[in-house]
């Protein structure tokens, strides 16, 4: 499709949706984990892409990022498609490339050139392997971008906690570089003793964490709503997962320069040592919801991801049964419905019970800049709460709360 044809199509979809796009689910498999079976994807479809590619344990939301899943990865894996006339028409990425000024706003396009966040659900039976994400300086060496990220554990999706609702973060104060070098030198023996140098924190539904680049972490088995910079850069530091899945050395070094692939000193210095060994790590990274707005008996809205220096943020909106509310925001955002049903402007929305691979659901939308600014009307037509998660990109919510000591929060 030619650029002018794409622009005309996007303009038509934009006008008919009054500045709102319906999006199709974007499913992503991973070879290093086992699906947790709570993302509502039919269990018969978890390995529909082939067991060699791993089970589907992630759903990417409002995504313009291609999954970095190695050989055999389709060129559009991870990308969100805009649905029009009940058909997948074009990716959100293509749409922003030609219509970014009216989708995201001119200021965002001038400063960032596009939608710079990646949001997803991930859902695993056990913990992910210990890993980190490079910062911009490190990632630039391989023509990538660094990745800070943040998590929220939605209670609506965590009806069971699976095998390990704990996350390893950072390193125990006093850990030495030589300790980690020794673990890496024993990689091919399956030495996962690096976990003995980390701290495991019990994670609980309704809370979250903010994790800057270069911090080691091994996310636990809760369904996680993750908002992060739009990059899939990472280095795995654990050779065997809790389920006994082998992690190849290639996944440790895939995002570092070729000449450094066997340089243990360089690899160990990917770690931000002061931040990883912070004695008050939890106080500096733990998140609990903070009230953003509300009206008694009508709705409540909470910040669930914040304190990121306005790189990204997220809110949880709950509209009570039979109520409606017009919500205004500072800029464009993606949303997903995780409980209930109703309408968002002209779009019917509902949280599905079961999704087959390839289904076009009614639970995900993208609200463009002008629509977000003027406000969108949300109606709860059900007998239970309508619960919506909303993700925002950079330079949108400078008024978000800072991260404070968790014990002082409401």
Strand partners, 290: 303
Report yes or no: 158 and 38 within 8 Å, Cβ to Cβ.
yes
Convert the pLDDT of each residue in 128-148 to its tens digit.
999 999 999 999 999 999 999
For the domain made up of 300-408, the CATH class stated in words is: mainly beta
Report yes or no: 369 and 326 within 8 Å, Cβ to Cβ.
no
- Look up residue 395 and give its two tokens: 């330079």
Phi, psi of 187 (to 5 degrees): -50, -50
CA distances from 388 to 21, 69, 153, 338, 341 (A): 16, 29, 13, 6, 10
Which of 3-12, 192-201, 298-307, 318-327 shows the lowest per-residue confidence on average (mean pLDDT)? 3-12
Domain ranges of the chain: 300-408
Closest among 337, 140, 148, 305 to 228, alpha carbons compared: 148
Euclidean distance between CA atoms 129 and 120, whole angstroms: 18
Convert the pLDDT of each residue in 377-404 to its tens digit.
999 999 999 999 999 999 999 999 999 7
Convert the pLDDT of each residue in 322-339 to its tens digit.
999 999 999 999 999 999
**DSSP 3-state assignment of 106?**
helix
In the prediction, which pLDDT does 267 show?
Answer: 98
- Look up residue 101 and give its two tokens: 């000024």
Convert the pLDDT of each residue in 294-308 to its tens digit.
999 999 999 999 999
Strand partners, 117: 229
Give the chain's end-to-end CA distance (angstroms, integer). 52
Closest among 302, 327, 305, 328 to 316, alpha carbons compared: 302
Q: Is residue 79 pLDDT above 80, yes or no?
A: yes
In the 8-state DSSP scheme, what is residue 248? -
In the prediction, which pLDDT does 32 show?
Answer: 87
Cα–Cα–Cα angle for 90, 79, 83, rounded to 5 degrees: 35
Euclidean distance between CA atoms 134 and 138, whole angstroms: 6
In the prediction, which pLDDT does 408 show?
Answer: 52
Question: How many residues belong to the chain?
Answer: 410
Euclidean distance between CA atoms 69 and 29, whole angstroms: 8
- What's the whole-number mean pLDDT along residues 351-367? 98
CA-derived radius of gyration, the chain: 21
- What's the whole-number mean pLDDT along residues 267-282? 97
In the prediction, which pLDDT does 404 show?
Answer: 75
Q: How confident is the model at residue 405 (pLDDT cuts 50, 70, 90)?
A: very low
Residues 6+ apart with CB under 8 A from 112: 393, 394, 395
Euclidean distance between CA atoms 37 and 26, whole angstroms: 16
């Amino acid at each position: 499709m030619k650029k002018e044809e794409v622009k005309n199509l996007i303009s038509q979809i934009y006008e008919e949706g009054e500045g709102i796009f319906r999006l199709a689910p974007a499913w992503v498999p991973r070879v290093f984990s086992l699906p947790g079976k709570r993302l509502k994807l039919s269990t018969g479809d978890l390995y529909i892409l082939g067991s060699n590619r791993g089970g589907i344990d992630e759903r990417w939301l409002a995504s313009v990022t291609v999954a970095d899943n190695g050989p055999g990865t389709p060129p559009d894996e991870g990308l969100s498609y805009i649905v029009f006339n009940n058909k997948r028409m074009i990716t959100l990425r293509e749409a922003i490339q030609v219509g970014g000024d009216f989708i995201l706003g001119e200021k965002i396009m001038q400063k960032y050139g596009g939608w710079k966040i990646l949001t997803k659900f991930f859902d695993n039976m056990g913990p992910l392997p210990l890993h980190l994400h490079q910062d911009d300086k490190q990632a630039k060496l391989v023509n990538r971008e660094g990745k800070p990220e943040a998590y929220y554990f939605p209670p609506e999706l965590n009806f069971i906690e699976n095998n390990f609702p704990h996350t390893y973060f950072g390193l125990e104060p006093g850990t030495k570089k030589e300790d980690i070098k020794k673990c890496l030198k024993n990689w091919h023996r399956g030495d996962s003793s690096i976990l003995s140098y980390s701290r495991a924190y019990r994670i609980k539904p309704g809370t979250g964490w903010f994790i800057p680049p270069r911090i080691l972490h091994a996310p636990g088995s809760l369904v996680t709503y993750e908002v992060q910079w739009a990059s899939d850069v990472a280095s795995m530091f654990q050779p065997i997962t809790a389920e006994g899945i082998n992690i190849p050395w290639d996944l440790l070094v895939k995002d570092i320069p070729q000449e450094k692939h066997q340089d243990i000193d360089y690899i160990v210095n990917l770690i931000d040592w002061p931040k990883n060994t912070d004695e008050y790590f939890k106080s500096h990274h733990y998140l609990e919801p903070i009230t953003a707005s509300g009206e008694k008996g009508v709705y409540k809205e909470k910040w669930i991801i914040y304190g990121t220096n306005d790189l990204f943020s997220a809110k949880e909106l709950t509209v009570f049964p039979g109520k409606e509310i017009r919500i205004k925001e500072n800029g464009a955002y993606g949303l997903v419905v995780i409980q209930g049903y109703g309408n968002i402007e002209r779009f019917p929305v509902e949280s599905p019970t079961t999704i087959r691979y390839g289904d076009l659901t009614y639970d995900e939308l993208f609200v463009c800049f002008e629509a977000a600014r003027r406000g969108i009307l949300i109606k709860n037509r059900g007998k239970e709460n309508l619960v919506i998660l909303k993700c925002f990109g950079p330079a949108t919510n400078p008024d978000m709360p800072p991260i404070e000591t968790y014990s002082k929060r409401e």
